[in-house]
Amino acid sequence: MCADVMVLTEPPSSVLAAAGVLASPPGLHGPWVAIQGRQVQPLDRKIPYDRMAVAARVGTNDAQIIVYGAVLPWTAVKNHAPDLVRAGEDSFGAFKRALQEQASDIVALQKLGAPVVWVGDFNQSVEGANFGGSSQRRDLLNQTLKTLNMVAWNGIAAHAKPGMCAIDLICGPERQSVTASGRIEPMVNGVTMSDHAGYWVDIQ
């Protein structure tokens, strides 16, 4: 697949060393997300490590989008990455705070004039069975997307786990035309590459 831009969560060092890569700020667990592409340009915005996000302008002067790559805290974040959880927060509190902070970034980016695409590991599905998430998180995420006038273009796509919909979401303006979309299998030649599937969309 030849993509104009890719968003990778928990990127390996080989990706970080490649050309055309912007990554979220490094911290105890390294960068959480990277945006890669030939036409990726940095934005003059500092996003703190614990927001687990990075933003980039992608494209030419005639056709640009803004890509906001991000990760949202998962249910076991207090055990796996306690540095992301503030004093007095439980895992839902960390999810809610990060979601609100990321949404605020999106609002600011939407004012720059180019369509904004919000991509990454949301650690929460918006459709189907709710394994690994919660109805509280789903309701909050769906309401946030609605407030931002966004939809999850791959919300009904299958996760790597049978019976579950995607938690790695590609979200964009509800009026944006999506000409094609698809899923990348997590197994290649009998080898499991990830416990997540990959997803892609073509937009105009």
Nearest alpha-carbon partner for 13 in 28, 2, 3, 23: 23
Split into its structural domains, the chain has a count of 1
Residue 123 belongs to what domain range? 6-203
Confidence of residue 1 (pLDDT cuts 50, 70, 90): low
3-state secondary structure of 80: helix
pLDDT digits (tens, 9 = 90+) for 48-72: 999 999 999 998 777 889 999 999 9
Q: Give the pLDDT confidence of 141-153 residue by residue, as tens digits.
A: 999 999 999 999 9
Lowest mean pLDDT, pick from 22-26, 156-160, 191-195: 191-195
Mean pLDDT of 107-128: 96
Query: Reduced to 3 states, what is the DSSP secondary structure of residue 22?
Result: strand
The pLDDT assigned to 45 comes to 86
Tokens of 165: 């919909």
**71 in any annotated domain:** yes
Predicted confidence at residue 28, as pLDDT, reads 87
pLDDT > 90: percent of the chain: 70
Tell me the C-alpha to C-alpha distance, in Å, between residue 26 and each of 48, 53, 60, 79: 9, 11, 28, 19
Which one, of 62, 66, 60, lies nearest residue 107 by Cα?
Answer: 66
Q: What CATH number does the domain containing 42 carry?
A: 3.60.10.10
Domain presence at residue 1 = no
CA distances from 197 to 1, 56, 162 (A): 15, 23, 11
Structural domain includes residue 167: yes
pTM score, whole prediction = 0.94
